[in-house]
Amino acid sequence: MAGGLTYTVEETTKLSTAEIYATVLADLAAEHPEIVTLTPDLAKSTKVGVFAERFPERFYNFGIAEANMIGAAAGMAACGLVPFTSSFAIFNSMRALDQVHTDVCYPNLNVKMIGSHAGLSFGQAGSTHHCTEDLAIMRSMANLTVICPADGIETANAVVAAYERFGPVYLRINRGFDQVVYDAMDYGFEIGRAVQLHEGTDLTLIACGSAVFQALQAARELAATDGVRVRVLNMHTIKPIDADAIRAAVQETRRIITVEDHTVLGGLGGAVAEVIAEGGKACAFRRLGLQDRFSPIGLHEDLMSYHGFDTAGIMASVREVMKLDFEDTDDWDDEF
């Protein structure tokens, strides 16, 4: 990690995910003067006011002009700076998409785009602020790395990793306080490598973002109540995705369920399905998330329950998928 920055669970649980991002970025900037921050009048909401207070000469507020902000970030990167843009995920991935595509990704510039309030984490704000399509959109951009951390500790790791990785990066975080998955930073975060959080051979849950905690809770409860051994993979990097971990899960568990705070079209579920299809080995497969629909307005935890990807919804889906039978053979030749 750059400069050996470390944060503990005691520190991160006192801060929202956005506050952790801003704090880590400011600490990183103290060591690296080329880091600058840009925001479209969202310093308060995305918590980068911390950066502005420490480095006012390296902080730029563009007003409500997201496209202009991304274009300027591209110019700064072309001059050797490392710009971090800080906006809501919905604006980063949709309102400024032309500039993301043409100004940043096409020339492969070193711009780091932080999209906060992602998924349904700002559920009470309504459809204009629900961001449930960004993973599908952003992972289709050539040259772009897409990261969706599970909690505050992983966000800290991801910010540092984004800085250390040359090229455009999209980092997707939530609005408020995330449930704790990790208690220390040294669990082995690496872009493009999934983290196994729970062992299992009956079924694999592959999750990202806020869904990781829900999947882990479901696996623990299913082990206690049903005796089902559920593997849990935190797929924090959507692109490049860890194809080896997915293929191993198919081979060893034969049942895969993806869980994401996002539409099931094109995001984590779509990415995993592509790997499975190209691998040539059949498995039972289900995608949990928004089922090709918009969401009603509500609090995040209520909306996760409504769409069936909270702990209870995941457990119900696991029980259904576990009822599916396979031929009693280890011969995969007929699966090609």
272 has a pLDDT exceeding 80: yes
Query: Mean of the per-residue pLDDT values for the chain?
Result: 93
Taking a C-beta distance cutoff of 8 angstroms, is the pair 110, 63 a contact?
A: no
pLDDT band at 10 (very low <50, low <70, confident <90, very high): low
Whether 69 and 85 have beta carbons less than 8 Å apart is answered as yes
Q: What is the mean pLDDT of residues 126-155?
A: 96
pLDDT of residue 289: 98
Would the pLDDT of 133 be above 60? yes
Q: What's the angle, vertex CA 315, arms to CA 312 and CA 321, rounded to 5?
A: 145
Q: Are 46 and 86 in contact (CB under 8 A)?
A: yes
Q: Is residue 326 predicted with pLDDT exceeding 80?
A: no
The residue with tokens 């700002």 is 122
Q: Are strands 230-234 and 255-263 parallel, antiparallel or unpaired?
A: unpaired
Would the CA dihedral through 127, 236, 239, 32 be positive or negative?
A: positive
Task: Quote the CA–CA distance of 315 and 195 in Å, as a whole number.
Answer: 21
* pLDDT at residue number 101: 98
* Residue 203 CA: distances (Å) to CA of 118, 282, 333, 335: 28, 14, 21, 18
What's this model's pTM, rounded to 2 decimal places? Answer: 0.93
Q: Is the pLDDT of residue 116 over 90?
A: yes
pLDDT tens digits for range 58-113: 999 999 999 999 999 999 999 999 999 999 999 999 999 999 999 999 999 999 99
Of the two residues 164 and 21, the one the predictor is more confident about is: 164
Q: How many CA atoms lie within 13 A of 213 on its CB side?
A: 18
DSSP, collapsed to helix, strand or coil, labels residue 257 as strand
Distance CA 208, CA 164 (A): 22
The pLDDT value given to residue 2: 46
Considering the chain, what percentage of its residues have pLDDT values greater than 90?
85
For 312, half-sphere exposure in the C-beta direction (CA atoms, 13 angstrom radius) is: 7
Q: Report the C-alpha gap between 255 and 320 in whole angstroms.
A: 11
pLDDT of residue 199: 98
- Measure the CA–CA gap between 176 and 170, rounded to whole angstroms: 19
pLDDT at 336: 41
The per-residue pLDDT for range 298-316, each reduced to its tens digit, is 999 999 999 999 999 999 9
Whether 329 has a pLDDT exceeding 70, the answer reads no
| Nearest alpha carbon to residue 36 among 20, 18, 51 | 51
Condensed to tens digits (0 to 9), the pLDDT of residues 142-193 reads: 999 999 999 999 999 999 999 999 999 999 999 877 899 999 889 999 999 9
